[in-house]
Chain A
Amino acid sequence: MIAPLDLNDKNSARLANANLDSIRHAIEHAKHYLPTQGPIAVFIHHNTLHALEHLPFDEAVLEGLRTYGSQPYWQESRYREEMARDRIQVKDLQSVLGRDLGLSGSKEIASGTTRFDLRYNMLLHSVLTGSDAELRWLFAQSDALDRFRTGVEPQTGFAVVEATRNWIMRDLRLHPSDSSTGIPAAIRSIFQSFPVRTIESWSDETWKQLTLQILWRICQNGVQCRSPMQHRSPSTYRHRDILLKLSHFDCDLQVHDLLIRFTSAFLDQGFAGWSIPNREKGFYRCFLALFAEKSLWAEKWLQPLRALIETERQTVSTPIESIANSLTALGVPADIREKYVKKTLLALPGWTGMVEQMSCNASWTLYPAPKDSLEEFLAVRLLLDRISAAHCLEEHLPHGSYELSEVLALDHPERHDPLRQTVQQSAFDVFQLAQRLGWSPRTLYSWSTEEWQSVVGEIGIFDDLERRRLFHLAYEHRYRSQILDSISEHSQFPLKVPTSVSFQVITCIDDREESFRRHLEELDSSVETFGAAGFFNVPMYFRGAADAHFIPLCPIMMVPKNYVEEIGPLSSKQAETRRTQTRMLLGKASQTIHMSSRSLFSGILTALFGSLNAFPLVARVLFPRLTSQIRNRFGNLVRPTVATQLRLERGDDSVLTDKGAEGFTLVEMANMIERLTGDLGIQGCFAPLVIVFGHGSSSLNNPHESAYNCGACGGGKGGPNARAVAQMANDQRVRAILKGRGLVIPDATLFVGGYHNTCDDSTHYLDVDRIPPNHTAKFLAASQIIERARRRNAHERARRFYSLDMTSSDEEALRHVEQRSEDLAQVRPEYNHATNAACFVGRRGRTRGLFMDRRCFLTSYDPTTDDETTSILMRIMQAVIPVCGGISLEYYFSTVDNVGYGCGTKLPHNITSLIGVMEGATSDLRTGLSQQMVEIHEPIRILFIVEAKPESILSIMDRNPLINTYIRNHWVQIATLDPLSNQIQLFQGDRFEPYQPGPHVLPSVSVSLDWYRGWREPLGFSRVDINALPAHNNSPIGNKV
C-alpha cells in the first residue's frame, strides 16, 4: 500500500515503485480491450474484437461474451427463423456438424444414438427449457404428457409406444413376483393410476399417455445421478456488482452521470461556448481543481468528495499513486488487481476508450488529450467509485454493516449460478430428446449411472452457445457453397475479355461498385472494368480549394508524406478571391447565428425573426430534393470554379519539412503509376480512354457520414486521388520515365479522373476542360454509357429500400436516391457495406457477367503477370485482408449484438463534444454501427476468393504475420481459384483442401434487371449473359488463360 512516502526508507520506496509499475502494467494490459474507435468525423471500419485477434474466432467471441457481455452470435431463435425461410438448409447443418465433429461424431452416446445424431437432432428442433416453475406448469396444465413433442416422427413415436407396451405387458406383468424384473416401484404408482384391469383393451392414446408418463418419471429419476458440473473459474467483481446484489442500488449510475459530463467537457473539441477551466493541467488535476472548490450545493453522495480531494492532495502527487491509494482503500487484493482495473475501465467502455484514443491517436484534432490520460481518468474514476460505494453502504444497507474495504470479500454472486441446470431442467432435456430419438422408457430404465451421466453430459455440452456456433457455421456454409459453386461453374467458361476495348473504368474495390461495373459491362460489352483500393496508390494529404485543412487520403495504416493542394485558375484570380471572401463572410455569419441563436441577448433577435425559419423547415422536410436543388444553385455563386487544378508536382520553391513535402517528384509519380497499373494487370492493354472513379458519399443528419465514404481513403472522399492518378498518367514526362522501365502507355491513351457518389449515384469528371479535342468524342460517348449505368445502378440499389415502389423506373429510382441523400429525415441514406459477404481477388474476366448482388469486393489482380514470389499479390493482400476483413467483422459484430457491439438505433443519437454520439441526454459514448446501418446485413465472415495457387497464399501467410493471424484464426475465410482451371481450394482447419462444387446450375438471364426485379431480399447468383450481345466476337483470348 502507499503510505505517505518516507524517503529515508529506500526499501519501502522500492516496494512502492514496484507496486506502481504493476498498476501501470495492469492499465497497459486492460486498455487493449477498450473500443478503438476514434472521433466520429473520421470513421474507420475495423475489427470490433481487434484486441482478441490472437485467439481463434470461435474462442474470441466467447471471450468477448465474458469481457463485454456481448453476444457471440445471433440468438438461436434468429437462426431458426433463417432456417424456416430456407436461408439455412438441412444439408448445411449436416455438413458443418459432420465436419465439426469429425470422427468423434460416430461415437455412440446411448442406445444406438451417435453423438452426431444427438446434436443434429438438437439443431433441427429446439430443445425447450424453462424455470422449474414453468416446467411444473407445463406438466400440470399442458398436454406435455398426452402427446409427443413437436418434431417427433410418427414412426419413432409408434416404436416407443410399442416398446413400452411390450415391456409392460410381457416382461413386467408376467413376472410380478420377480423383484428384479417386476414393475419397478418408481413407475408402479403411475401404472396403477391407469385402469389396469382392462389393460388388454387400452386404446393407443392410453398407451401413449402411459408411455409418456413413465418416460418423464424415469427421466426425473435418471438424471439424479448426473455428474456435477465443472466449476467455472471465478470471475472478478467490482464493488458495484456486489453492492447491487446486496442493496439493489447501482453505484455506477451516479458516478457515470458526473463522469460523463466531466469527460465530455474535458474532451470537447470546441462545441461548448465555455471550455472547461484548467484543461491544460490534464484530466486528474483539472478534476481536482474543479471539485475542490466550495460549491453552493452538492448531491448527497458527493459531499465527502471535497474532503477526499484535500487528503488526496496532501498524500499523493501523481495519478498513479492515487490509483494505488484508491485500490488499497477499496480493499482490492494484489492478485486480482489486474482484473479489477480491467473491469473498472470497461464499466464505461465508450468514454474510457475515447480518453485513450484522444491521448494516443488523435494528434490531428483540435484538443488532443495529454499522454497517459487514461491513467488520470482511472484515478478520478476510482475516487468517485470510492465515495459512491461508501454512500451506498451508508444509505442503502443497514448502518455500519460493512466496511468499504471488506466488500470484495463478501458473497460472490456466482454461488447462485443461474447457468447451472436444475434436475427438472436436465430431465426435461432428456425427456424431449428421448421422444425424438426413439429412446423407449425401457431403454432408459436399463441405463447405468455412467450412461446417464454420459447422456446428460453430452446434452449439457451442446449448450446454447455451441448450437449457435454451429448454426452460424451453417449460415456461412450456405452462402459459401452458393458463391463457390457459382464461381466454379462460371469460370469454366473462357475468360470474358472484350477484344477491342472502347474504354476502361477503374473504380474502388468497394462492394458497392460491383453493380456499377456490372451495368457498365452490360451496357457495352467493349467496356473493361478494374478495381483497386480507392486511394489508387496515391497516399497524400489533400486540401481542396474551399477547405480549411489538409486531410489524409489513404488507408489508416499509412502516413502520407506529400501534400497536394487544389488551386484556382490564375485567369480568374480576382473573382476567386472575391468568392473566398464571400464564403468567409457567409461562414462567419452562419457561425454567429449558430452561436448567438443559443445565447441570451442576440438570441432574442434571432428568435424574433425566427418565423422565417418556418419556410426552410417546411420546405426541407416536405420537399428535400427541390430544396437542395435551390440551395445548390445559390451555393454555386460562392463555390470555387470547376476550373481548379491540383498542385501535384514538387516545384523548386516547394517546402520540405520533416512531416512531408509539397507535391510529388516525377519519379515518385512514375513509381505510383507503375505500381497501380501493375496491381490492376492493365499494363500492355491500355484502351484509348481510361476513366478512374474515386468514390464517397454525402448525406444529411448523419453523424456516421464518414463511415459511408471510401475506407481506403481513411474515411474521406476519393475524388482527388482519382484526379491525381489521371493527371500523373497523362503527364508525358512520367510516361517517358515509365517507357524507360518498359511500361508503355500509348500516346493515344487518355486518363480522366472522376468521382462517384454512392449515395445519390451521381458521377462527375474532373479536369474535363483539359481533355484534348481529339478525345472529346470518345469521352462523350463513354460518359453517356456511364450516365445510363448509374441510373441502372440506382435502380438496382433501390430494390432494398422499402420506401420505393418496386415497379418504379430507372428515372424514378435515381430521383429517389437523390432525395434520400438530401433528406433530413432519412436515417438510411444508403446501405453502405451492409451487403458485404465476399471479396474476389483476380481477373475481372473470371467473374465478368456474374450477378453478385453487390455483395462482393472486386479487386483486380492478374496472376499471369505476377512474379515468382507473388509480390504483387502480397501487396494487394496486405491491403485488402485488413480493410475488407475489418469491414466484414465490424458489420458482423454490430449485427449479432447491435446494442452491445453496435451503437443501437440511430433515432435518439446525440452528438457530443464533436467526437461521438450518445443515446439521449447522457449515456456512454456509442461505438460501432447503428441498427439502421446493419438491419439488412447477413452476419458472415468475409470469404476471400483469390485467383492464385494455394502455395502462394501459404507463402504470403508465412511472410505476413497479420494475414496469417486473420486466416489461421479464421477471422476471415479464404479460398483459391486456380488461374488455369476452375478448381477451387478452400482453407479449412489449417490447410487448403480441394472444394467439390455441388450439382448446381447457374440460372441465366439477359440483363441484371430480369434477375433482381421483384425481390427485396438478398439474391443468389446468376449469369448475366453479356456475351450474348451481338456487338463483339467473344472468342477466348488464349494468352490470358
Chain B
Amino acid sequence: MSVSEWTQVFGSITFICPCVLLLIIGVSLLIGRPMSELILGRWLKAMVSLSLISALAVLGIMLATGSRRELVDLGNMVEIHDVHFHFHIKFIFDRLSVPMVILSLVLCGTVGSFGLSYLHRDAGFQRFFLSFAMFLVGMTFASLAGTIETLFLGWELVGLSSALLIAYFHERPSPVANGLRVWAIYRFADAAFLAAAIALHHQTGEGDFSLLMGDEPWPAGTASLSDSSALLVGTFLLIAAAGKSGLVPFSGWLPRAMEGPTPSSAIFYGALSVHLGAFLLLRVSPILDRSALLSWMVIGLGLISAGFAALAGRVQTDIKSALAFASLTQVSIIVVEIGFGFLYLALIHLIGHACMRSLQLLRAPTLLRDYKTMENAIGKSLDHGSPHIIAWLGTSAQRRLYRGAMERGYMDAILDDRIVTPFVRLFSTFNRWERGWTHWLAGSHHGSEQHQEKMQNE
C-alpha cells in the first residue's frame, strides 16, 4: 500500500474504533445482555488504545512525509439536490486536529480506566460507559471534523452525553434539574451553531473547512467570505462557543455540571468538553481574521469571562466548583489568545490546561489529605485570607463584590428573568391564542374543552 493509503487506513481506524465501542455497549444493552465489567473494560481499553495508536501513526506518517494536511472523506451522508442540501462527513488531520484527537484519546483512556475502578459495582455502570462511549465518539468527530456538519455531529454527541452524565444520579431531583439546565443552554448554543452553519452554506454553498479556509493548511488559511458575512457567521459561532465553554453570560451552568460521578466531571468540565468552544474558534480562526471587530469581540468576551471566573472562583468553598471556575478562567484566557491570533499558544495552553485540570479534578477528594500534608510541611495552618487587591476597596464595595461573586454574577437570574421568562411568556401567549382560536373553530364544544383541561390539571 502506498503511504497515502496507509494514512487513510490509520485515519479511519482512529474514528471508527470509538464508534465500534459505542455500538457494542449500546447493542449489548439493547438486547438486554449487558457485558460484564471485565469485558466492557477490555473493550474500552482495546478500542481507545487502537484508536490512539492509529492517531499516533498518522502523526508519524505526517511528520515523516512532511505533509501538513491529510483528509479522509466519507462523502455525503445525505444529499438532496433540489434544495442543495448535503450532509458531508469528512475528517481532517492537521496541526490542530491531530494534537486535539491525541489529547482526547489519552484523557478518555485514562479517565475511562479510572472510571472502571471508580464505578465498580455501581448500579449505573453500564449506563455510565454508554454515555462515556458516546462522548468519545463525539470528541473524535469534533476534533477531526473536516466539515462544519461533521463538527456539528460531534458537538451534539458531546452535548447529549454531558447532559446525560450530569443527570447520572437520576433518583435525586437536583442532578436532573441541573442536567436539564445545562442541556437547555447547550441547545441554545447548538441553535447558534446551526445558524452559523446555515449562514455559511448560504454564503459559500460549502461547509467544508478546506474549501472555506483555502488551500493552506491550518492555521494559515484565509476565509473565502466577505467581511460582513464573516462578522455574521463569526458572531453566531462565538455565541455557540460561549455557550459550550460556559463563557459570560452562560457561566452559570459550569458549577451546576458537577453533579455526576467524579471521573465524568473531570473529563467533561476539567478537560475536554469545556474546551470545545475554544476549539471551535481555533478551527474557524481564518474567519476571525477577516473581521477586526469580530476579533475584538472575542477578546472582550474572553477578558470579561476571565475576570469574572477568577473572582467567582475565589469565593467558592467547595473543591469542585472552585475547579470549575478555575477551568473557566483558563478557557477564557485561551479565547483571548485566539482573539489576538496566538493560535499555537492557545493550542498549547489548551492541551496543558486540560491535562492539569483533569488530574486535579480526579484527585479532588484527596483535598483534605493534601491540605494536611501541606500544613505539616509548612508547619502551620494554611489560611489564604483575602486577596490583596480587595483590601484597596471600601468595606461596602467589598461586600458588594463578594456577594456578586458568591451569587455567580447573578447570571442565572439574569438569564431567567431576561430570556427564559419572556420566552415562556411569549409561548404561553401563543398557546392561549391557539386555544382561543380552536375553541372558536370548535364552537359549542367549549364546555368539554374546559372539562378536559380541568381533568388534566387534576
What residues of chain A have their CB less than 8 Å away from a CB belonging to chain B?
40-41, 261-262, 264-265, 268, 270-278, 289-291, 293-300, 366, 544, 546-549, 580, 583-584, 586-588, 590-591, 594-595, 597-600, 603-604, 606-614, 616-618, 620-622, 700-703, 705, 802-803, 823-828, 905, 907-914, 918-923, 935
Other-chain contact of A583, B258, B377, B403 (Cβ < 8 Å): B377
**Which single residue of chain B is at the shortest CB-CB distance from A546?**
B376
Q: Which of B106, B168, B379, B390 has the most CB of A within 10 A?
A: B379
- A270-B381 contact given A297-B413, A547-B376, CB 8 Å threshold: yes
Other-chain contact of B398, A270, A277, A910 (Cβ < 8 Å): A277
Question: Chain B 364-406, CB within 8 Å of chain A: the 1/0 string?
Answer: 1111111111111111111111110010000110111011111
Task: State in angstroms the CA–CA spacing of A547 and B372 once bound together.
Answer: 9
**Which single residue of chain A is at the shortest CB-CB distance from B311?**
A274
Other-chain contact of B384, A270, A609, A616 (Cβ < 8 Å): A270
Ordered nearest first, which 5 A-B pairs have the shortest CB separation?
A587-B377, A610-B352, A610-B356, A598-B326, A920-B259
CB pair B368–A911 under 8 Å, yes or no, is yes
**Which single residue of chain A is at the shortest CB-CB distance from B359?**
A617
**Which single residue of chain A is at the shortest CB-CB distance from B377?**
A587
- Whether B120 sits at the interface, judged by CB under 8 Å, is yes
- A293-B113 contact given A268-B317, A607-B349, CB 8 Å threshold: no
CB pair B259–A921 under 8 Å, yes or no, is yes
Task: State in angstroms the CA–CA spacing of A591 and B368 once bound together.
Answer: 13
- Whether B310 sits at the interface, judged by CB under 8 Å, is yes
CB pair B417–A366 under 8 Å, yes or no, is no
Other-chain contact of B369, A274, A548, A705, A803 (Cβ < 8 Å): A705
CB pair B355–A613 under 8 Å, yes or no, is yes
Task: State in angstroms the CA–CA spacing of A433 and B268 once bound together.
Answer: 55
- Whether B178 sits at the interface, judged by CB under 8 Å, is yes
- Give the shortest distance, in Å, between A791 (CB) and chain B (any CB): 23
- Give the shortest distance, in Å, between B387 (CB) and chain A (any CB): 6
> Which of B129-137, B169-177, B187-195, B283-291 forms part of the interface with chain A?
B169-177
Residues in chain B near residue A597, CB distance under 8 A? 326, 356, 360
CB pair B403–A290 under 8 Å, yes or no, is yes
List which B305-348 residues lie within 8 A (CB) of chain A: 306-307, 310, 313-323, 325-326, 329-330, 333, 348
Q: Which of B256, B376, B381, B396 has the most CB of A within 10 A?
A: B376
**Which single residue of chain A is at the shortest CB-CB distance from B387?**
A274
CB pair A584–B318 under 8 Å, yes or no, is no
Residues in chain B near residue A617, CB distance under 8 A? 110, 355, 358-359, 362
**Which single residue of chain B is at the shortest CB-CB distance from A819?**
B117
Residues in chain A near residue B202, CB distance under 8 A? none
- Give the shortest distance, in Å, between A698 (CB) and chain B (any CB): 9
Other-chain contact of A275, B116, B263, B368, B385 (Cβ < 8 Å): B385
- Give the shortest distance, in Å, between B398 (CB) and chain A (any CB): 5
- Whether B122 sits at the interface, judged by CB under 8 Å, is yes
- Whether B425 sits at the interface, judged by CB under 8 Å, is no
- Give the shortest distance, in Å, between B292 (CB) and chain A (any CB): 24
Task: State in angstroms the CA–CA spacing of A701 and B396 once bound together.
Answer: 40
Task: State in angstroms the CA–CA spacing of A1009 and B316 once bound together.
Answer: 51
CB pair A609–B352 under 8 Å, yes or no, is yes
Task: State in angstroms the CA–CA spacing of A618 and B109 once bound together.
Answer: 9
CB pair B352–A599 under 8 Å, yes or no, is no
Other-chain contact of A604, B319, B333, B404 (Cβ < 8 Å): B333
In addition to A590-B370, A825-B113, A907-B118, 8 A-B residue pairs with Cβ atoms within 8 Å of each other are A271-B318, A300-B417, A584-B379, A701-B363, A701-B366, A908-B169, A912-B317, A921-B178
Chain B, interface residues (CB within 8 Å), range: 35 or more
Task: State in angstroms the CA–CA spacing of A293 and B405 once bound together.
Answer: 14
Q: Which of B113, B175, B371, B383 has the most CB of A within 10 A?
A: B371
CB pair A366–B326 under 8 Å, yes or no, is no
- A298-B373 contact given A265-B315, A290-B399, A824-B114, CB 8 Å threshold: no
Task: State in angstroms the CA–CA spacing of A621 and B358 once bound together.
Answer: 12
Task: State in angstroms the CA–CA spacing of A609 and B352 once bound together.
Answer: 6
Residues in chain A near residue B326, CB distance under 8 A? 597-599, 603
- Give the shortest distance, in Å, between A637 (CB) and chain B (any CB): 13
- Whether B354 sits at the interface, judged by CB under 8 Å, is yes
**Which single residue of chain B is at the shortest CB-CB distance from A294?**
B400
Other-chain contact of B169, A41, A268, A622, A919 (Cβ < 8 Å): A919
Question: Chain B 102-128, CB within 8 Å of chain A: the 1/0 string?
Answer: 000010001101111111111000000
CB pair A921–B400 under 8 Å, yes or no, is no
- Whether B414 sits at the interface, judged by CB under 8 Å, is yes
- Whether B353 sits at the interface, judged by CB under 8 Å, is yes
CB pair B330–A923 under 8 Å, yes or no, is no
**Which single residue of chain B is at the shortest CB-CB distance from A922?**
B174
CB pair A41–B368 under 8 Å, yes or no, is yes
14 of the cross-chain contacts (CB-CB < 8 Å) are A270-B381, A273-B384, A274-B402, A274-B405, A297-B410, A548-B378, A590-B374, A604-B330, A607-B356, A611-B351, A621-B110, A803-B117, A824-B366, A920-B178
- Give the shortest distance, in Å, between A717 (CB) and chain B (any CB): 12
- Whether B246 sits at the interface, judged by CB under 8 Å, is no
Other-chain contact of B404, A41, A295, A544, A595 (Cβ < 8 Å): A295
- Give the shortest distance, in Å, between B397 (CB) and chain A (any CB): 9
- Whether B260 sits at the interface, judged by CB under 8 Å, is yes
Question: Chain B 88-113, CB within 8 Å of chain A: the 1/0 string?
Answer: 00000000000000000010001101
CB pair B314–A823 under 8 Å, yes or no, is no
- A825-B399 contact given A274-B315, A298-B410, A911-B365, CB 8 Å threshold: no
Task: State in angstroms the CA–CA spacing of A590 and B371 once bound together.
Answer: 10
- A598-B323 contact given A290-B403, A295-B400, CB 8 Å threshold: yes
Residues in chain A near residue B384, CB distance under 8 A? 270, 272-275, 595
- Whether B51 sits at the interface, judged by CB under 8 Å, is no
CB pair A910–B320 under 8 Å, yes or no, is yes
Residues in chain B near residue A599, CB distance under 8 A? 310, 313-314, 326, 329
CB pair B356–A907 under 8 Å, yes or no, is no
Residues in chain A near residue B362, CB distance under 8 A? 617, 621, 701, 824-825
- Whether B11 sits at the interface, judged by CB under 8 Å, is no
Task: State in angstroms the CA–CA spacing of A975 and B264 once bound together.
Answer: 50
Task: State in angstroms the CA–CA spacing of A913 and B367 once bound together.
Answer: 11
- Whether B214 sits at the interface, judged by CB under 8 Å, is no
- A825-B359 contact given A587-B373, A603-B329, A912-B317, CB 8 Å threshold: no
Task: State in angstroms the CA–CA spacing of A291 and B407 once bound together.
Answer: 11
CB pair B255–A272 under 8 Å, yes or no, is no
- Give the shortest distance, in Å, between A477 (CB) and chain B (any CB): 29
Residues in chain A near residue B405, CB distance under 8 A? 274
- Whether B273 sits at the interface, judged by CB under 8 Å, is no
CB pair B356–A825 under 8 Å, yes or no, is no
- Give the shortest distance, in Å, between A358 (CB) and chain B (any CB): 14
CB pair A277–B395 under 8 Å, yes or no, is yes
Task: State in angstroms the CA–CA spacing of A273 and B387 once bound together.
Answer: 7
Residues in chain A near residue B376, CB distance under 8 A? 544, 546-548, 583, 587
Other-chain contact of B359, A277, A604, A613 (Cβ < 8 Å): A613
- Give the shortest distance, in Å, between B125 (CB) and chain A (any CB): 11
- Whether B14 sits at the interface, judged by CB under 8 Å, is no
- Give the shortest distance, in Å, between A626 (CB) and chain B (any CB): 15
Task: State in angstroms the CA–CA spacing of A914 and B318 once bound together.
Answer: 8
Residues in chain B near residue A265, CB distance under 8 A? 315, 317, 406
CB pair B329–A920 under 8 Å, yes or no, is no
Task: State in angstroms the CA–CA spacing of A921 and B408 once bound together.
Answer: 13
List which B405-449 residues lie within 8 A (CB) of chain A: 405-407, 410, 413-414, 416-417
Other-chain contact of B368, A544, A546, A705 (Cβ < 8 Å): A705
Task: State in angstroms the CA–CA spacing of A104 and B119 once bound together.
Answer: 50
Task: State in angstroms the CA–CA spacing of A700 and B256 once bound together.
Answer: 25
- Whether B261 sits at the interface, judged by CB under 8 Å, is yes
Other-chain contact of A295, B261, B353, B410 (Cβ < 8 Å): B410
- Whether B295 sits at the interface, judged by CB under 8 Å, is no
- Whether B262 sits at the interface, judged by CB under 8 Å, is yes
- Give the shortest distance, in Å, between A1014 (CB) and chain B (any CB): 19
Residues in chain B near residue A802, CB distance under 8 A? 120-121
Q: Which of A264, A598, A705, A935 has the most CB of B within 10 A?
A: A598
Task: State in angstroms the CA–CA spacing of A223 and B180 once bound together.
Answer: 48
